[in-house]
Amino acid sequence: MSNVNDPFGGLFRMKGNFIDNLPKIYGFYTGGFLLFFALMAVLETMGVSADVIGILFLSFTIFIYALIGWLSRTMQVDAYYVAGRQVPAVFNGMATAADWMSGASFVAMAGGIYFGGHGYLAFVVGWTGGYVLVSVLMAPYLRKFGCYTVPDFIGTRYGGNLTRFLAVLVLVIASFTYVTAQINATGTIASRALQIPFEVGVWFGLISILLCSMLGGMRAVTWTQVAQYIVLIIAYLLPVFWMSNKQGFGVIPQFVYGDAVARIQELEGMLQVGMAPAEGAASTFPGLKALTTLHADTGGGLAAWKFVTLAAAMMLGTASLPHILMRYFTTPSVKAARNSVTWSLVFIFLLYFTAPALATFTKLQIMDPNLATSIIGKAIADVNAIEWIQRWSEVGMLAVADGNGDGILQINELFIRGDIVVLATPEIAGLPYVISGLVAAGGMAAAMSTADGLLLAIANALSHDLYYKIIDPKAETRKRLVVARVLLIVIGAAGAAVASLKLTGILGAVAWAFCFAMSGLFFPLVLGVWWKRANRPGAIAGMAVGLGVGSWYLYMVKFAGMTPWIGLDDLRFGIVGAAASLIAMVVVTLMTKEPDAETQAMVDEVRVPSGDTILGSQH
Amino acid sequence: MNTDTTQRREEHWKRTKALMIKHLVVWFFFAYLVHLFASSLNSINFFGWPLGFYMAAQGSLIAFVVQLFLFAKQQDRIDQDCGVAEES
């Protein structure tokens, strides 16, 4: 079978069509990956070095993704832009989860909770709660619309090239901010595992990313993202299960780690966490931090307000990010789009409710004097002799300083980088190196899948909305798809070039992307469906003012030294931008005349699942 | 479009809006309200966890997942009742 719907036809000879065989295909794939893992474990016991195992893990998984990408190549418009609209809800859920969970979720989140405690959990709440908005307000209606891209919806619902152009502009700014952080993450992981310079690692990462998406567009990205989700979730969960089993917290530790939290609170008093400032200035150990925040303390003053505003920014941002919304264009029906959002959240939840557990266990292992792995309260000389301490010190991700000169390690004398909470946990807990190789492959999968989704979102908006709809509406299919691919390479190269400059931290860039997206797109998207009266001048004002005010506020707070309004710092600037966008859109809409009857009828059609999509299957 | 279809569509949109508001209220509760009172909730012990911490680390997340399963089911029911569901 080698019909257009069957990318793997050449590899698998099966009865029935490709879609029906998906569970079987990915079942084989998962089994194969576990077998590979077992093989690596055997190689390790036979004395193969840790470096070689790391290289094998990375190259094997990247080869598989590239193979899927090549098998999914296509020259059809709807396969390229929306995977032929035949991705079942559960598989689209997995693909969305991989698209969603970036290097930041995989590598940085548990470390963030380790240091930030309760306050950092606002990210966990925000990055899950946003899916309620996606399902209730957006995804099913956008699916009914039948668009290829998010600007396609804005441009058709409100009409006019200016609206389309503004939507493309917001999309490019938000997604490009995000993608540089992801290419940065792939570069970091590749350079560490393959032992090449970071600048080379970035380009290596980019080539791996493009191998997945270039030939098959959305169809290729979909099937590689499902494969990447399977790798990343195994890589995240397996070490946690293993570790907790070893320490007697049961097989599924996520449900029983309450006692560990209680124990940490007890130890925090004994070890005087947060009582004394960190020893040694930050300049001594750039990028490293000592623990000074209590694990479950909510903090006083504006803390609760800062928690909910950060959560709100992440949620509205979730519901505005084009690379996520466009995943729901690929389902076979409106109902499937809705179910697919639910499955996305289930698959995301698996990782997100594990991250706080991981942070808690790691902290307890380092702190609790009853555990063999603890280092706080031990003699500095003994601590410096531990293998994992040495290994991570060598690469500058960990430092021990005897600030008060008593020869004993205090909690404020241990400096680590947040990232190593996930990366070094297997070693801290004394697990074999094969687990560390697995974790590196998982981190790479997380960063690659998100980068792929983002690059495709940008390239598709530029090729479909800017080139085809605005510049050259007569372009033939072949030319459109060639333009899309050239843009993919150009944008990827630009992203890698910016990433190799290391301008911002990974997490900062991610939060900014959310804020840009919500400033410009949230209200024009929501009101496009839920407010029939919303019109073109209103949408133009909403996007322009939202993006303008948001960017201005970010600049003032971050670079011009303005005091943030009521604690709304640069991570939360989207709140200011979105509020401005809402006001501008409503005021301008009410001052101008209502949309014509044709547009109003179109909105009525969008609101019901039955019937044809608004835009034809080839447009 | 005949009047019967128009009526069914109006009914459909009315019920859809009501469902939307209901779910956004629940969402607001778990997304913001509980976290505004996290420090008071922390004095309650929930299987070892301080409740405020638990809600942020797990409780709200579980609520969102359950809520989305319910929402998909309820919205589908409304679509069926009003005769605007897709043919399958």
> What is the average pLDDT across A196-219?
89
Lowest mean pLDDT among A180-184, A344-348, B79-83: A180-184
Helix, strand and coil content of chain B, in percent to the nearest 5, comes to 80, 5, 15
Residue B71 lies in a domain: yes
What average pLDDT does range A328-348 have in this prediction? 97
HSE, side-chain direction, 13 A CA sphere, residue A577: 37
As beta bridge partners, residue B46 has B49
pLDDT at residue number A1: 33
Residues A118, A298: Cα–Cα separation, whole Å: 6
Query: Which residue in chain B is spatially nearest to A126 when comparing CA positions?
Result: B31
Q: What token pair was written down for A401?
A: 């300083």
Q: Is residue B87 part of a domain?
A: no
Residues 12-71, chain B, touching A (beta carbon < 8 A): 12-13, 16, 20, 23-24, 27, 30-32, 35-39, 42, 45-50, 52-54, 56-58, 60-62, 64-65, 67-69, 71
* Calpha distance B35→B32 (Å, rounded): 5
Mutate to test the interface with B, among A85, A100, A118 (most CBs of B within 10 A): A118
The Cβ of residue A333 has, within 10 Å, a number of other Cβ atoms equal to 20
- Three-state DSSP at A403 gives coil
DSSP states of A265-322? HHHHHHHTTTTSPPSS-TTTSTT-B---S-SS---STTHHHHHHHHHHHHHHHHTT-H
Query: pLDDT class for A2, splitting at 50, 70, 90?
Result: very low
Rounded CA Rg of chain B: 19
A103-111 mean pLDDT: 86
Residue B68 has its nearest CB partner, among A122, A135, A610, at: A135
> What's the pLDDT score for residue A254?
86
Closest CA of chain B from A155, distance in Å: 24
Domain that holds residue B9: 3-82
Query: Are residues A171 and A521 in contact, defined by beta-carbon separation less than 8 angstroms?
Result: yes
pLDDT classification of B19: cutoffs 50, 70, 90: very high
* Residues of chain B contacting residue A332, judged by C-beta atoms under 8 Å apart: none
**pLDDT of res. A573:** 96
pLDDT at A504: 62
A261 interfaces chain B, CB cutoff of 8 Å: yes
**Local confidence band at A291 (pLDDT 50, 70, 90 cut-offs):** confident
Residue B88 is assigned to a structural domain of this protein:
no
- Using only the alpha carbons of chain A, give its radius of gyration: 25
CA-CA distance, A563 to A178, in Å (whole number)? 26
Segment 422-461 of chain A within 8 Å of chain B by CB: none
- Cβ atoms of A290 and A415 within 8 Å: the answer is yes
Please determine, for residue A440, whether its predicted confidence score (pLDDT) is greater than 70: yes
Residue B11 located in a structural domain: yes
Q: Report residue B44 as tokens.
A: 């309650």
- Six-digit token pair at A142? 């956008």
Contact A380, A408 (CB under 8 A): yes
Interchain contact A346–B (C-beta under 8 A): yes
Using one digit for the tens of pLDDT, what is the confidence trace for A306-317?
999 999 999 999
Q: What is the pLDDT of residues A152-181, one digit of tens each?
A: 999 999 999 999 999 999 999 999 999 988
Residue A10 burial (CB count, 10 A): 10
- The count of domains in chain B is 1
**CB pair distance less than 8 Å for B35 and A604:** no
Distance CA B30, CA B22 (A): 13
Q: In this prediction, does ipTM exceed 0.95?
A: yes
Domains of chain A by start residue, with CATH: 19-520 (1.20.1740)
C-alpha torsion A180→A183→A187→A193, nearest 10: 140
**Are A93 and A497 spatial neighbours (Cβ–Cβ below 8 Å)?**
no
Burial class (CB in 10 A: 0-12, 13-18, 19+), A240: buried
| Per-residue pLDDT reduced to its tens digit, A547-558 | 999 999 999 998
pLDDT reported for residue A113: 93
In this complex, do A353 and B64 lie within 8 Å of one another by their Cβ atoms? no
Interface test with A, best of B58, B62, B88 (most A CBs within 10 A): B58
Query: Does B63 fall in a domain?
Result: yes
Q: Please tell me which residue of chain B has the smallest CA distance to A118.
A: B53
A217 CB-contact burial (10 Å; exposed 0-12 / middle 13-18 / buried 19+): buried
Nearest-by-Cβ selection for A132 from B13, B68, B75: B68
What confidence score (pLDDT) does residue B36 get? 94
Dist CA A594 CA A493 (whole Å) = 44
DSSP code, position A408: B
